[in-house]
Structure formats: C-alpha cells, structure tokens
Chains A and B, each alone.
Chain A
C-alpha cells in the first residue's frame, strides 16, 4: 500500500501496441476506484520486476495475447521473491486458454481475467486483499 493508503497497481504488457484496449480499460477503472496506477510496456520480464520494486507496488497485472506467460511468469515470480516482494499480488489477463488457468494459479497467480471479465471483480479483489498483504 502506498503511503497515502491507496493500493498501487502496476499494469504491464509486453511491447504495448494497439492491442492494449483491455489493459487501458483496467487502468481507467483502477484510477476511478482511487488506486494509483503505473502503466508500462516492457521487453523482458526482468523489467517488470524492476518496475515493481522501484515503484513499490501492491499488485502486478500482466496482459498477454499469446502464451508468452509460459516464459515470462516464472521470471517475474522468481524476481519478486528475490527482492522480498512475495506479498505482491500477481494477476493475468488477456487471451489465455481456460485449460492453462490451473497451471498458472499453481505458479502463484491470484486471478486470471479473460475476455469479457467483470472489471469490478478485480477492483474488489484489490480493495479486499491489498490491506491484508504483509510486506
């Protein structure tokens, strides 16, 4: 939680291009809910960790439209651990086949939001869980 008591959310996508419609929406809704938002593009997963540490965020939301999470997620999870950021909530969104959900949750993903998900569910999750996260 940032010093002003607002949850701080990092929203990232690999090489942000025109396919950021979903992530943009989440950014606006988070802002409207009073969260602090950092919205960023990255080229390698290590940069996500670096940004999470530097910005001291409570939540990392990653958007994918291919199965690149197979390569990127383990590096983000590992990197956060190394930096004593285990408390950070990781959520994924985008085009993710349902059959991958279990595998991703086992790796530490708190929630996955596919096409057509209710954005409020994410907002409510952050509001409820972030204050309980222990640094």
Chain B
C-alpha cells in the first residue's frame, strides 16, 4: 500500500508519538476493545495496513470483491430504500399506516415503494384467528391477514407489479401462496410480482422455537427458492436474519459469520436441488443489525460484502455480478433501545442509521423510540422515516461513496473482521456445516453467553447506557403505549368463520390434500410441487393456517414445540 519512504517516515513519527504519550500520560494504558472483543489501539497509521493490497483488498466500488459497494455509483444515483416495518390490527388498519408512510415520503428505487408488512404472532406461526392458540395475540404486534379477502382489504388499489410487497411472517410458504393467488385473481401475473419473502424457516436455528425441524426447514426454504427461480425471477426469496442473531446475543463478528454460515447451508441445498447459482443467489438478502460500536459495525459490513462475494464466486461459481452482491436490509439495533428516557432512543437510532448509511446499505428499517413501551404509533413510525430523510437530504453524507475508505483504522479493522469471520466460518465447516453445528449447540452457546455478558457489563457499570445505569432521573413515563382497536380480534375471528362458511368445502379439502401429497414428494427430495399446491389451496379459499397445518402433516414442526428446559 505504501512505499518505503512513507513507511519509514510513519515509523519514525510513531516512535516520537510513543515517546510523547509515555511522557505526558506516564505509562497509562490506552488500548481498549471493540464490542466483539478485538483489541484496539488509540491511533492507527500506515504501518497497520502496509500489508493490504489495494487491488485485492480495497479496489473500487462496484468491482470484485465489492467491499466498498455493490455498485460503481451508489447513493449519488439512488439512496437506500426506505423500508420501515409496519402492520397492526385488521388489514384496513395496516393500509392506513401504509398510506401514512407513503404520504410521509417513503421511497424506494426508481419510484417503487417497499411496503414492509409484518404479520401478527398467530400469522407468524400458521395459526388462524379462530384457533384457541391465537387468543390474546390477534392483530397486536402485526396485521391479522389470513385470507384472500384480507389481502384484498390491505392491497386493493395499490399497483403491486410496480411496488414491492414484503411479507414478514414465520412459515413463509402459506402466506406467499395466498399473496400470489390474490395477485392472480386480480389479473396480475405472478412473474411480474416484486418483493420479499423471509424464508426464515431457519430462525428456528437460533432459539427454541415454534418452527420447522431443521432439515425439513431447509427443504421448505429450498422449495420456495426453486419456485421463485422458475416463476418469479425478480422476487427476493430469502432473508438471512442477522438482526435476529444480533438481538439474540451475537456480536458483530458472530452476526456476520453465522449469517454467512446460514447462507452457505441454503446455497448448498439449492445447488444440490439442481439450481444454478447465478439464478438463486440473486434472491438471497441479508437483514443486518447496525448496533453500538459505530466503526466496528461499519467494518463488519464492508468485510461482509467481501466475504460474500468471495464465497459466491469461489464456492458456488457465480459469474454474474448481481449474484455476488450482498443485498442488505439494515434493521438498526433494538436491544440497545431502552425504556428509561425513551426519547433518547431517537438519538441512538440516528447514530445506528448513520453507521448503516456509511456502510453502504441498500435498504433501511429503524425501530421506533417507543418500542420498549409498545408497538409504534403513527407519529413514532414516521419519525423513523424522518431519521432516514434527514440523513439523505441534510447531512451531505451521500455525496461520496464509501467515504471512510482509506482510513487507517477502518481498513485495518475491516481486514480484522474479515479474518475473524473466516475463522468462524471454518469452525462451522469443521463442525460438519451449519446444520450440524447448530444441532450441537454451537450457536446457542455463543448467543446466550453474549446476552449474559452484555447485561453483566451494564449491571456492573462497565458498560454505560445513558438514562439506564447513568444519568438516571425520576420520571413519570409520558409516552403512552399504542393500542390497536380492541374490536380487532372479534372482527378477525368473525371474518375467517364467514370465509370458511362461504367456500366450496370439498374443493378446499381436495386442494389441501394436494398440499399433503406434494409435501410427500418434497420429503423424498423432489422439488417444484409444494408451492404450486399451496397456491391452488389458496385459490380454493384455504386459509393461511389451514395451508400451514397441511404442510405440518408431512414436514416436521418442532421438535422443540413446547420446549421445556430445566436447570
């Protein structure tokens, strides 16, 4: 990176600096650690990055290994996509929030907005509102939308071939099938749809969960990808949930490595299913948490782009740049937001968002400041959008791409993140791959330790959280929790009962049986049947919960259903 003369000078200046600090601070130690535990010095110089190779390690934005950006020109051409998560109550309530965000200026690439719609807890887990398990949760933390009629209530009037519809729910296939059936009933061909499914069947890998058993989860995820590659090539089928890993206790290095490990398991499965990497890799995205330790998370992001590009090209033989690009949806940190003096959370989130923007993220969601108290109000939801808009239009940070490149510290730390990431990826590989590593408890151990350690540091005052363990004030909480309409549950239950009454039951039953038969084929390793069968069932007016139950007749749900641990 530097010629002999520069390095010689740097060495001399560093020696002088060391002498000066020894004299002024009398031997006091100034080395610290990043949040991930990487030891750091108080100052970096050319000496720290002398071994980097400009072409191999840094290069230009938009060129392999894409560390600086996926694109040669990024925010100067198009800023990141505003992707605030929203959803509550009945579908028409969620539509109100969608309209409010649209009116507040939510924007995406080329004028296409991204409606990042979140389902309620029953919807997440394939439970219909009229089932006993749904009681108390209907429309509370997401939308209660379970039928073709519900999709119509939420999306009629919106151009769904132009805008992105993002379906945030747990078991993915049933809700996606309903959406496709709804679109086709409206006359919108499936091939023109754009948006995202989560395909998160693997979040079950991070915690005891109500989700598919691991091997079956991977089969279902692969089936969804197989369907999208053949039918909806533009659809972003898979969201690797870094935010969940982070919220569950991972530091920056582990968030990145576990995500890449997960993506590797998914990609291996797709390749084994006979899919072409250039086709399926373009639909895989990463949901990335940007947390405290500003620089470390920026460096994580840069290293992540590089590791993904290398993995896609070297391991999977990707040839299209789009297949090597790290598609990212930033979801700024939630666990670091606190209930005490909640307005401070706006400041915290703004810094997290600034970090994500300096990292070159491609889309962003910011939690609302009142989330430690309840689900966001319209006002707090729009404030999260304002953070993004102020960043884009007022701070000037979008004028130059990867503006921190060349910083001795940032380049050094990016390289360290890359090395640490490779180490963990190798550990996962040595443990027999991600599925085996998880089953052996490798992830859970790391995540739980991370969680406990974080809180211990706060309780012992080693980590300061303003307003919580320092600068506390006596406060009466002025922020009122948002509450959806109390009638939501009753209406939702009535609607689904009516929906079931009106349909041709024999036709629905036959279609649901088709899902079961398709699952048997999937179980035997035959792809391409389950998604079409789910869409048929949706068209025959099966509900999301019913399609989910049909899947569960063959695909194992659990095994940690109703997990009980004793210590």
Give the interface of A toward B (CB within 8 A).
Answer: 14-21, 24-25, 27-28, 31, 36-44, 47, 51, 65-72, 95, 97-99, 114-116, 118-119
Could you say which interface size class chain B belongs to? 35 or more
Is A18 a contact of B339 with CB atoms below 8 Å?
A: no
Chain A to chain B: the 5 pairs with minimum beta-carbon distance, closest first: A71-B136, A68-B136, A97-B481, A66-B140, A115-B339
- Nearest chain B CB to A47 CB, angstrom units: 7
* Majority secondary structure of chain A interface residues (helix, strand, loop or mixed): mixed
- Nearest chain A CB to B537 CB, angstrom units: 24
Is B133 a contact of A116 with CB atoms below 8 Å?
A: no
Given A18-B206, A21-B249, A27:B136 Cβ within 8 A: no
Q: How far is the CA of A38 from the CA of B564 in the complex (A)?
A: 7
CB-CB under 8 A from B203, the residues of chain A are 17-18
Q: How far is the CA of A87 from the CA of B141 in the complex (A)?
A: 33
CB-CB under 8 A from B335, the residues of chain A are 21
Query: Can you give 23 contacting A-B residue pairs, CB < 8 Å?
Result: A14-B121, A15-B210, A16-B563, A18-B206, A18-B209, A21-B247, A21-B248, A25-B451, A25-B455, A27-B567, A37-B567, A39-B564, A39-B565, A41-B561, A66-B140, A67-B140, A68-B135, A71-B135, A95-B372, A95-B374, A115-B339, A115-B372, A119-B459
CB-CB under 8 A from A39, the residues of chain B are 564-567
- Nearest chain A CB to B199 CB, angstrom units: 16
- Nearest chain B CB to A73 CB, angstrom units: 9
Given A17-B209, A28-B452, A31-B567, A41:B136 Cβ within 8 A: no
* Majority secondary structure of chain B interface residues (helix, strand, loop or mixed): loop
CB-CB under 8 A from A37, the residues of chain B are 566-567
Across the interface, name the chain A residue whose C-beta is closest to B249: A21
B207 within 8 A of A: yes
Since A41-B564, A95-B374 are in contact, a sample of 8 more A-B pairs with Cβ atoms closer than 8 Å, ordered by chain A residue number, is A21-B451, A25-B455, A28-B452, A41-B210, A41-B562, A66-B121, A68-B135, A114-B372
Is A40 a contact of B562 with CB atoms below 8 Å?
A: yes
Q: How far is the CA of A1 from the CA of B338 in the complex (A)?
A: 34
Q: Which of B142-165 contact A (CB under 8 A)?
A: none
- Nearest chain B CB to A61 CB, angstrom units: 14
Is A42 a contact of B567 with CB atoms below 8 Å?
A: no
Q: How far is the CA of A31 from the CA of B481 in the complex (A)?
A: 33
Contact of B566 among A20, A38, A43, A116 (CB under 8 A): A38
Q: How far is the CA of A39 from the CA of B566 in the complex (A)?
A: 6
- Nearest chain A CB to B130 CB, angstrom units: 14
B448 within 8 A of A: yes
Most buried by B among A44, A51, A95: A95
B46 within 8 A of A: no
Is A24 a contact of B448 with CB atoms below 8 Å?
A: yes
Is A66 a contact of B136 with CB atoms below 8 Å?
A: yes
- Nearest chain A CB to B68 CB, angstrom units: 32
Is A68 a contact of B374 with CB atoms below 8 Å?
A: no
Q: How far is the CA of A44 from the CA of B468 in the complex (A)?
A: 34
B340 within 8 A of A: yes
B316 within 8 A of A: no
Q: How far is the CA of A44 from the CA of B448 in the complex (A)?
A: 26
CB-CB under 8 A from B249, the residues of chain A are 21
Is B562 a contact of A47 with CB atoms below 8 Å?
A: yes
Contact of B338 among A20, A99, A115 (CB under 8 A): A115
B212 within 8 A of A: no
B41 within 8 A of A: no
Is A14 a contact of B137 with CB atoms below 8 Å?
A: yes
Given A66-B137, A116-B338, A116-B468, A98:B477 Cβ within 8 A: yes
CB-CB under 8 A from B452, the residues of chain A are 25, 28
CB-CB under 8 A from B375, the residues of chain A are 66
CB-CB under 8 A from B459, the residues of chain A are 118-119
Is B562 a contact of A43 with CB atoms below 8 Å?
A: yes
Contact of B207 among A14, A17, A40, A72 (CB under 8 A): A17
- Nearest chain B CB to A77 CB, angstrom units: 14
Given A21-B335, A44-B132, A99:B563 Cβ within 8 A: no
Across the interface, name the chain A residue whose C-beta is closest to B489: A71
Contact of B563 among A19, A36, A40, A119 (CB under 8 A): A40
Q: How far is the CA of A98 from the CA of B121 in the complex (A)?
A: 23
CB-CB under 8 A from A119, the residues of chain B are 455, 459
Given A18-B248, A21-B248, A114:B207 Cβ within 8 A: no
- Nearest chain B CB to A110 CB, angstrom units: 20
CB-CB under 8 A from B210, the residues of chain A are 15-17, 41
Q: How far is the CA of A20 from the CA of B170 in the complex (A)?
A: 16
Q: How far is the CA of A98 from the CA of B455 in the complex (A)?
A: 23
Q: How far is the CA of A43 from the CA of B561 in the complex (A)?
A: 9
- Nearest chain A CB to B94 CB, angstrom units: 16
Q: Which of B71-97 contact A (CB under 8 A)?
A: none
Produce 1/0 per residue, B170-209, CB < 8 A to A. 1000000000000000000000000000000001001111
Is B133 a contact of A43 with CB atoms below 8 Å?
A: yes
B373 within 8 A of A: yes
CB-CB under 8 A from A67, the residues of chain B are 136, 140, 483
CB-CB under 8 A from A31, the residues of chain B are 567
Q: Which of B328-365 contact A (CB under 8 A)?
A: 335, 338-340
Q: How far is the CA of A18 from the CA of B120 in the complex (A)?
A: 15
B23 within 8 A of A: no
- Nearest chain B CB to A43 CB, angstrom units: 5
